[in-house]
Structures are given as C-alpha cells and as structure tokens.
Structure 1
C-alpha cells in the first residue's frame, strides 16, 4: 500500500544547486496534483534497469501549488542507490510515479510562535512551512545549520523567506540553547536534520523546561544497510533473503508481497509488522522501549534482524 494510488508524472526540470544538491521538478501527466499540507512528503517511485526504488522526499513547493511539485535531493556517497539514480540518470521528460502527499510533520495550529531548526538537507520541509506561516501572519524564526561551504547555497534558497531567517555556518553559529532561551510561553520548536543534531535540539529544549508537546521533529533518513538475513513468512511459509544493501520492506515488495508503508523512515508506524520469532535490531522512532523489549513488532522500512532468521506474522 502506498497511500492508495500512484500518480503518473514527468520530470519538468532539474536544477543544480551545488556539488551534491539538485532540485527536481515534476508535473502530472494529466490534471493536477493533490493539495499538500505544509511539511508533507511524497513517495517517488524510480524504475532503474535492475531494481526499483521507492523513496520519500519532503515537498519544497508551496502547499497550494498543484501544477507542479518539487523536491531537493542530496547525492549521498553511501546511498543505497536512490540518490545516485536521481542525480546520475534522471533527465527532464523522464517518467516517474508519485504517491499522494502525506503529512507527518504538521505546523502546530495553536502555537503562539514557531522556531524552525534545519540541518543541511533537513531544511526541505521548512521551505513549505514558510509561505504558510507568512500568509497566517504567524511569528516564527528559521535557523539553518550547515557547513561553511554550503552557506551560500542555503542563503540563496531562503532569499525570499524574508525576515527571521538565519543561516549558521560552522565557524559562526548560535547554540541551540541560545536560540531556544527566553522564548515566550506557547512557542513550539520543529527540527529536521541529522539524528545527532535533532537529539541536541531536543536535549536543549528539555533542559530549558520546554514541554514535550512543544517539541517536534522529522526523521528524514531512510533505511541503512546491514548484515544480510533470512525471513520466513509464517502464514504462507515463504522464505526471503534480505541482502545487506536492501531493507526488509524492499525485499517484501520485490517478492510481490503487499507491505503497508508511508514514510519509509521509521517515523509513522504504518509498516509495523508482527514478529513470531527472531531477534530484532530496532531502528525506528515509534515503538516504546517496552514494545522493543517485547520483540513482537518491527518497522520493516528501517529495522533489521540481529539473528540469522526472522519469522514474520505474514
């Protein structure tokens, strides 16, 4: 299941933003795309000669733009192939399939003030936040943290964002504690970027006494590889091999097995699947410590096996 249906689309254009960053613009083959909520992402299906990738990317276009969608993708050196395929093989006019937009990172409607903290490519969901916050007349700050080499790239991307935007390089930056100190009651903080950065933002907010309900994050990282393992499906008796460069979810999809999914980053819980036997290496962001210890649920999009074999309730 990928949110009911895929939308046929074509690559309308590709813009090089930097050595490792490209913006990909898509247009529907017919009609218009669905309206997207701020912070929404789409699943893009990429069909290569030997395999298929289904990757989630945040939309950077305004939520009410329906004649075209855009995403920004970094070419990751240790990618399992999706970002390499986009950067190296996708061309204007190529056909892709896009899932309807899904929102797991909404703007808190009752917040009095919004603090947006992005790290590197984690800026992307905030590019769709800004026009909405501006239209609402909402009070907000956007802090983008990046390398010194990329400060110019991100300043250009944020050139039309207006006041309240700061791009922090490595040699001159405010700490998260400084950014979050003395904010008015009712302020919410949103963070997206590398896991270590998001954890540091969360820690700073908690140390300052921020309530948990006012701290929001989006994990944009997809599945990482790991040790190969074998999966047995208890109901059908089928056995699948999961290689080190493939996720369990991808192995199920390759075998033609219906496998629910939404974020493909361990953040939504849609792909949670029952485990009958085996030891799990949990990598998700949704299960409680008690659920992890119980060993009876796993997120197939990111988690893997510690044991040689897993038996799933499928």
Structure 2
C-alpha cells in the first residue's frame, strides 16, 4: 500500500459528541462514520490533521441547512459566533480525547509536533496525528490559551470555521459564490497570525474569506496552506479557491489538500455521491497544473462531509491511489500527492 497523509478530519467531533462510546468509536469501530483505527490501518492511512471543531449552537440546525445544499443555487446563513466562555471547555475536552487516543492505541497512533516526528512515525508504520483547531473560538483575545493548547500539542489552526470569530470572518456555504464575502482579519486576528508564526503553528486558510486570506498572506512568514479546499474554477462554491489564491499559495511554496466533499467537487455544486472518481481527478489535474506537483495533497474532510460512494470511507483510500495511477499519474507523483508533499510542508512550517 502507498501510505496516505490527510489534511483534515473530524473524528474528534464524534468523540466529543459521544464520549461514553469513545473506545468503540476509535479502537474497534462501530460501523458508523468514516474513520476508526482498524479502518485507518486497512486503508493505509498514515496520518493527518485531527480537528478540534465545535458544533454550532442547537438553535442553528446544521442538518436542515446542509440539506439545502442538495438543490443549488443556495446561500446558507452563517451561525452566530460562539463566545470564548462557551468554547473553551469543549475544546479542551476534544484535545483531551486526542491525547487519550494516543494512549489507548498502545503504540499504533502518535501525536506529532515536528516534521521529524511525522517522518519517524511513517517510517515505523505508526499513524501520525497533528492536533489542529478548526475555528479559534477557544483562543482568547490575549492569546494566552493559544500557548496552553500549543503545550498540549496544537500545531495547526484555522482562525475560523465559516462562523465569525474574534479573529476574522469565514465564507458562508453558498453556490455559486465568490469567496470575497466580507471584511478581513481583525486586529486580534493579525496578532494571532504573528503569534502562530512565532510558535510554528501552521495557519489553515480553508473556510477563511478572501480578504482574510489576503491579510494572512501579507502578514505571515510561513507557506500558505489550505488543508481541505478545491478549485473555484471547477466548482463555484464560496469554499473553493480562486486562481489568484492558488497562485499566491504556489508563490509561498504552500499547499492545498483536495477536499472529498461532493458539494465542493461537482461542476454543478450538487451533492452527488455517485459522481465517481472523475471530479476528484479533475480537481487534482487543475491543482497540479496551477500549483506544481510539489504543492498538492489530500484533505479528505472525513467524518465532516459526504464523500464519493466509490471511496466510501478511510478503508477505501487505496482505491483513490489506484484511480490516480489509472489516470496516468506515475508512481513518484502519486507518492507526492499521497504523503510526501505533506511531510515536506510540515517540515517547512512546524520545523524539522
């Protein structure tokens, strides 16, 4: 099998929502979701970014809104911001679940904090986990809790998950729509970027609006990274990246991870799980042409999105590898997309 390193997953949310079942969710699987330890091992999942993500308040019906994405065009209202006082405890709990995962896996899973640690885990056949925060609601304006989470192992952070935060504004779920949907980073957001640079915490641009993207590009001394985003020219979702943004990522020696969510893949924006491999390969072709083959990877959004049925779940990753090979990608390019580009990017951002 060719090992696959993944730019984004939401397994921690499943643990956060059902902590009483975390042993079966993680260690043995329960026939639900898209990720668990046995299926990761079966599919050649070598590691990835594990997101601390907080669900929207109960008053905001995510399921109802996501159902509206079945029939483009759509423009879904964004949830209200989550106050820091409400965000901190569940975010700490999610981080705690990831620390527990490492202990419970008894050597099969390891939290990594540097590029060298990721490389070592892959060499040893241990699944490498990088702690990520998707939406910085649990970071206070003084940034003190950023240092606390960093001490826990946090090495990647997205200032927003579409909802506004103290730090910036995200894109709504809209099709067709430009990602230019609001103002840029706040003053606190600009301080956050600089402090993340100082701590070698990677800044994730997925979900951030265009003006915020530009502010990060102007301020950051690190490569620009979108862990789970696709091509706006092929699917005109506000969540996807324009050619101008892709060019800026290339110039920074950054990275884009292909998002498997069908609503961000299909040309019509329709969530069609029967779409097969073709939309994924079209986006990969475009990303390779625009960014170069050293700056493209995979960013599944497992456990956070509806994905092509032909892939199914994490156990089907070698099917994607085979689809890339059948599409004409040579062995060297497949290995770059599958894991080598992420390893190199992590070394450039987190340190060797």
Using structure 1 for the length normalisation, give the TM-score: 0.31
Structure whose residues are more often helix by fraction: 2
Structure with bigger RCO (C-alpha 8 Å, 6+ apart): 2
The higher radius of gyration belongs to 1
TM-score, normalisation: structure 2: 0.29
